[in-house]
Chain A
Amino acid sequence: MKRCIIYILLLLVAPLAASGASATSASSADKLAAEAAKAYQAKEYLKAVTLYTQIKDSIGVSPELYFNLGNAYTQLDNYGPAVVCYSRALRLAPGNSEALSNLRYVEEKVALENEALMADKNLDPTPESASFFGSIRSLAEAPGSNFWAVAAAVFLILFMAGCAVYIFIAQVKMKKIAFFGGLASLLLCLVSISLSFSARRTVLAKDRCVIMVPNTALSAKPSADAKRMVVPLSGGTQLRVLETLSDSVKGDWVKVRLNSDFFGWLPAQDVEVI
């Protein structure tokens, strides 16, 4: 009996303790975020990066945290981590227009640096454009997985309403409207679910990476002795990941592609997967 009472008490106290713990971590996150913002305003961008990174590693992430971290990196002209942060902010919150705008700004900077590196060389640093269906898919997945999940739920409700009207209402006109409307809602619901899963798969795909070092040149083979391209790519360049290799002798390598002029291998420590 006594033991039962103790177990019951523990069951009651545990949620309180958990909420207390989360309240504690939330307050420490607020404190760190305030410190980081203060450092940022005082143009101590490196300190701001350190504090935001501490929040990210020890407590958790949010789109706004990634955005602020990206801004601090951009102020330091460190475009590689900036691109990673803005991209992750957009993955968490596809509607964050400020993150998108700052990402485009950094991409322009990176493009300019690549142009400068490739001056007088007959090479094109423009990323390969996606195929027609790839573009359509990207456009469709842009709002995010959760958006399409909510849309699917709404369409399901509409479908239910259509079914109810069709079943319970006697008027022929209403039945017709309910039938076709319900059918359309069902199709849209299925499409929305499919897009939601597809967007989730894209987020988890790990098929894009960013160069994190100031400059690095692609290698023909995954080896430190392999021939490297004459022209390097600037930090912040986004690449498509084709293959990864983990070897106890050669080390960790990633096979990447920018376009038909730039494809090859990079050391894994030079890039970060978004």
Chain B
Amino acid sequence: MKHLRYLILTLLAAVAILPAAGKSITLSVSDPHPGVGDYFYIYITVNDIGDRLSGAPGAPGAKQLYFQLKGMQQQTTVINGRSTMSSKATYAVTLRAEKEGKFTYGPVTLGGVRSNTVSYTIGKARPGGKPAPAGQNIGAAPSAPKLVHAGGKDLFLKAVVSETSPYEHQPIVYTIRAYTSYQGTQVNGAPGAPQFENCTYEQTKYASTQWRHENVGGHEYMVADLIRYIVFPSKAGKTLIKGNTFSFSVKQLLEYEDEFGFMPVFPGQTIEAKVPDVTLNVRSLPQHDGDLNGLGNYTVSSTLPHVRFSTNQVATITYKIQGTGNLSYMTMPDIASQLPAELKYVKTEDKTDKTVGDSSVSGTVEYTVSFIPLKEGAYDIPELRFTFFDAEKGTYYTRTAPGYHVTVDQRGAAASSGGSGETHKFNPQLQKVGELSAAQHFYVKGFGYWLFYIIPVALLLLAVAVYRRRIKVMADVVGRRSRGASKMARRRLKAAAICMRKGDRPQFYDETLRALWGYIAYKLNMPTSELSRVNVKERLEAAGASEADADRTIEAIDRCEQAKYAPDATADLRADYDAVSSLIDSLERALGRKVTTD
């Protein structure tokens, strides 16, 4: 049982290993002792591996010239109905020994299979070279490859200009052209553009990437135009265009012959080439009287959408200048000064649409002129004269855009642009210049203005104070009566005086008594019931009157009563009147104000 297990395992291993046993990679070297400068080979034999080698690793101490598949064999075998296929591929790496020393090449791995390594020792250079050793089992006796043909290795640039003596602002074409004799040339580009002194320029899209044959000086070259500019010199005199530098990736053809046949090799490298400088002699424009609006060759047209306008409404007219030339060097003729004063010029806007062709710049420049009609009426917009210089013909030309006859109507109020919809009219009449002052005067900053506030308030306060005092006084009835006593007495004495003049004695004394009693009653605030001679005397003396005045008062009362009730025709009315008057004055002095009559 144990033996059966071992047999099965062995059979299984054999099945697994047997197919792998066919796969191999073997390295061998044609000359294990080359000298420096000698050619030798390393052969790579690949058995039963489906993958192909695309290249070989570099060999230390030697330069690989080329790598190639030299032979391929495939065989199919059928045994007992079971077919097996085997293959064998042989690769050769052609090397040139360059450095003395002992080196090892490999291993090479392909399809998971590793090869062996081979060693070789490079010795000193041998004069005349060493023939390859014989006995290499490779199908033919190996020999060193021989360079039988080398391709061209020339590359230069040229700057081609369409005109070396252009006029100012005349467009010229500047082309950078490459000439090469390399087998393969690829343009890597240039880090910067040429330097155009005193020029403006436009880069065209033109570039001929197709290399064409050209014979230059008896030699065949491949030629291509790398880049092209349209240049506009802006200043008369010598103008330098300094060339830039281009980088190229080139491949030179090297053809070798060995026992295997002819073998072309294209070693590549990167080189630089500079464009030569170009000097232009720029000429001034010929003398010309009048304006110059452009350089090139143009047509001029104008567009006015309609010829009827409203006042105070913006209108536009468009002038189109179309042609070929220096579109950047173009100015609009002065239309503003040519418009009638009633068509007020506002602004001009320009729009340029240009196309940079292979050898020229063409396009259209549109000028849109805005204006505002100010007054009703009919007006003429004059024609526009556009003058340009055609450098190719060396002549000035003037083209004309037609003028227009326009009509302006009064703009309606509803169509006004004002926010409220109304249009205001201008009043040109002057006003009479009034009084002039240095600065604006504000009332609120004047002292007089605030005085106008202070005075009335003060007056009002004064009036209020007076009024309140009066009320207070009026509220003091006793005091009022007391103060009114002399006034009352004066009134009575006045009536008495009238009676005295009339000679009406009874009435005189009546009035006089009333004056006396009334004065005493008011002054001393005595009710009528208390008015007696005794009380009167007491009260008078108590109020501050002298005893003499009190006695005189009683005497006066007595005399008046007596005269009233027992009239005496001889009584001196005047004396009595004066006596009472002076008495009351005296009492007033003692008790209050003086009484005055007449």
The docked-state distance in angstroms from the alpha carbon of A157 to that of B425 is 42
Q: Identify which of B316, B427, B436, B444 gathers the most chain A CB atoms within 10 Å of its CB.
A: B436
| Contact, CB under 8 Å: B426 / A74 | yes
B192 interfacial contact with A, CB 8 Å? no
Q: Identify which of B431, B432, B452, B467 gathers the most chain A CB atoms within 10 Å of its CB.
A: B431
The docked-state distance in angstroms from the alpha carbon of A75 to that of B428 is 8
**Residues A112 and B372 in contact in the complex (CB < 8 Å), given A98-B431, A146-B443, A197-B444:** yes
User: Among the listed A37, A68, A119, A160, which residue makes an inter-chain contact with B314, where contact means beta carbons less than 8 Å apart?
Assistant: A119
B414 interfacial contact with A, CB 8 Å? no
The docked-state distance in angstroms from the alpha carbon of A112 to that of B417 is 8
* Nearest neighbor of A33 in chain B, beta-carbon distance: B433
**Residues A156 and B456 in contact in the complex (CB < 8 Å), given A111-B417, A196-B443:** yes
B474 interfacial contact with A, CB 8 Å? no
* Nearest neighbor of B453 in chain A, beta-carbon distance: A156
| Contact, CB under 8 Å: B434 / A62 | yes
Flag the segment in A100-108, A243-251, A258-266 that touches B.
A100-108
Nearest CB of chain A from residue B467's CB, rounded to whole Å: 6
| Contact, CB under 8 Å: B432 / A64 | yes
List of A residues within 8 angstroms of B456 by Cβ = 156-157, 160
| Contact, CB under 8 Å: B436 / A62 | yes
**Residues A105 and B442 in contact in the complex (CB < 8 Å), given A112-B312, A157-B456, A167-B464:** no
**Residues A164 and B463 in contact in the complex (CB < 8 Å), given A61-B437, A153-B453:** yes
**Interface of A (DSSP majority class):** helix
B460 interfacial contact with A, CB 8 Å? yes
Total A-B Cβ pairs within 8 A: 125
The docked-state distance in angstroms from the alpha carbon of A33 to that of B431 is 10
Nearest CB of chain A from residue B312's CB, rounded to whole Å: 6
A77 interfacial contact with B, CB 8 Å? yes
* Nearest neighbor of B431 in chain A, beta-carbon distance: A64
In the complex, which residues 75-119 of chain A have their Cβ closer than 8 Å to any Cβ of chain B? Answer: 75, 77, 91-92, 98, 101-102, 104-105, 108-109, 111-113, 115-117, 119
Nearest CB of chain B from residue A123's CB, rounded to whole Å: 14
Nearest CB of chain B from residue A180's CB, rounded to whole Å: 18
Chain B interface size range: 35 or more
User: Among the listed A65, A108, A168, which residue makes an inter-chain contact with B433, where contact means beta carbons less than 8 Å apart?
Assistant: A65
* Nearest neighbor of A164 in chain B, beta-carbon distance: B460
Nearest CB of chain A from residue B116's CB, rounded to whole Å: 75
Chain A interface size range: 35 or more
| Contact, CB under 8 Å: B467 / A168 | yes
A49 interfacial contact with B, CB 8 Å? no
**Residues A149 and B443 in contact in the complex (CB < 8 Å), given A55-B433, A105-B424:** yes
List of A residues within 8 angstroms of B435 by Cβ = 62
B5 interfacial contact with A, CB 8 Å? no
B288 interfacial contact with A, CB 8 Å? no
| Contact, CB under 8 Å: A116 / B372 | yes
Q: Identify which of B346, B416, B423, B435 gathers the most chain A CB atoms within 10 Å of its CB.
A: B346
Nearest CB of chain A from residue B526's CB, rounded to whole Å: 32
The docked-state distance in angstroms from the alpha carbon of A156 to that of B428 is 41
Q: Identify which of B314, B434, B441, B442 gathers the most chain A CB atoms within 10 Å of its CB.
A: B442
The docked-state distance in angstroms from the alpha carbon of A77 to that of B434 is 26
User: Among the listed B313, B425, B440, which residue makes an inter-chain contact with A203, where contact means beta carbons less than 8 Å apart?
Assistant: B440
Residues of A within 8 A of B (CB): 25-26, 29-30, 33, 37, 40, 55, 59-65, 67-68, 71, 74-75, 77, 91-92, 98, 101-102, 104-105, 108-109, 111-113, 115-117, 119, 126, 145-146, 149-150, 153, 156-157, 160, 163-164, 167-168, 193, 196-197, 200, 203, 215
The 8 closest A-B pairs by CB, nearest first: A60-B436, A149-B443, A64-B431, A116-B346, A104-B424, A105-B424, A116-B314, A33-B433
